[in-house]
Chain A
Amino acid sequence: MSNTDDSKAGWPLYEVFVRGKRGLNHVHVGSLHAADDRMALTHARDLYTRRNEGVSIWVVPSVHIAASTRDEKDPFFAPSADKVYRHPTFYDIPEDVPHI
């Protein structure tokens, strides 16, 4: 992802997401410039799926992506850091209890 808006060339930047095969999520693979959504899809196909890397493509103008802040110690994620009871390993279960 980039903070570049329309460049001098006038074609906006798109982010590309590819579903590798059925049953998998779409994954971000990179970006490209295109005049419109349809061209972005065609270019994404030519650029990111030349060897059967995908069965489905999403493209979205980069400017439409909202993102959390850059800081690795972002307080935005703090709520998940102090809730160890959300993990199965938090609970002590006797060794001889089966299937748990």
Chain B
Amino acid sequence: MTTTHSAPSATDGAEQQLQEQFDASIAKDQRIEPRDWMPDGYRKTLIRQIAQHAHSEIIGMQPEGEWITRAPSLRRKAILFAKVQDEAGHGLYLYSAAETLGADRADLTERLIEGRQKYSSIFNYPTPSFADVGVIGWFVDGAAICNQVPLCRSSYGPYARSMVRICKEESFHQRQGYELLLTMMRGTEAQRAMVQDAVDRWWWPSLMMFGPPDGDSPNSAASMAWKIKRHTNDELRQRFVDMTVPQAAKLGVTLPDPELRWNDERGRHDFGTPDWSELQRVIKGDGPCNAERITRRRTAHEEGAWVREAASAHAAKTAARIPDAPQTQEGTAA
């Protein structure tokens, strides 16, 4: 990070004026852009949130990626390829946004593979059946859409713009998942059982994706005040439940929550409480696949080192051979 640390104090007139300008921009719902002055806390919170989000996309390639070679048809294989490639793309849009805040790409990767920065707990669950691919698209990408649509109006410009792009692509992810499940539900009894089993395993972890309950979410208040976040964890979780219940009915599966029912007074669904101790365990590294995910990411990074070095060496050699010559034949920009 390259932030300058100047102690905020009332006597520091310039600093105070900058703070007032920043506060006024936030109050007027204007976007903050990379070169604007911003409080250190705002910058740090954003880097943490965007980096975690980017890491989640990158690690998120793994659970479904395992099914690429085993997809049941060429059509499903091509779709899955495209989806996993999108996840990589989402990670890169987000790393790009984090870098506008002064974060360093190589440093972010280090933080991920050393376990110093987190990613979404959901990707630490295994994918033992092909129905998991469908349920991930339906639940996990559906939950991601609930989370991310409001982030398109996040106060930080580059983050909001990444989100617009990502949300457009998530819609494909959710629909391909649901369509996959519809197809399986029209299949054999065994296939329907696979779908129900995957739903049973992913429902509660999906609800946990929205984070701890509001009373227990230490960073939420500041993020809301800065308009980085627009809705609380509990509000987003409720939206996800309300959105998903009719989809489950249409699909013909049961959501594994005996307390789930429509509440006429509230005009929303009541639902049970996720096992928050499980969320804490998984976040702290003790989920079913935490070690596997990080090891795989580390291995890919380390085993790819020679490629990065070779490309750098080639670039240096080419640059030395033809000094100042353009490296491509595309001609002038205009």
Contacts and interface: CB of A to CB of B under 8 A. Distances in A.
Interface string A43-72: 000110011000000100000000101101
B285 interface: no
Interface in B311-334: 311-312, 314-315, 318-319, 326-328, 330, 333
Given A2-B34, A36-B314, A7 B106 contact: yes
Interface of A is mostly: loop
Interface residues of A, number: 30
Given A11-B311, A33-B105, A70-B36, A2 B328 contact: no
A26 B333 CA distance: 10
B326 A37 contact: yes
Given A2-B100, A50-B86, A36 B315 contact: yes
Nearest to B109: A9
A83 interface: no
A34 to B, nearest CB: 8
Contacts of B107: 7-8
Nearest to B34: A1
Contacts of B109: 9
A32 B96 contact: yes
Given A10-B312, A70-B36, A47 B104 contact: no
Contact of A7 (B35, B37, B104, B330): B104
Nearest to A31: B96
Nearest to B318: A36
A51 B82 CA distance: 11
A4 B311 contact: no
A80 interface: no
A38 B327 contact: yes
A30 B93 contact: yes
B247 interface: no
B328 A9 contact: no
Interface string A16-41: 00000000001000111101111101
Contacts of B35: 1, 67, 69-70
A72 B315 CA distance: 38
A37 B37 CA distance: 32
B2 interface: yes
9 contacts: A7-B106, A35-B311, A36-B318, A36-B319, A47-B89, A50-B85, A51-B169, A69-B35, A72-B25
Given A3-B102, A26-B333, A47-B92, 4 more contacts: A8-B106, A30-B96, A37-B328, A51-B169
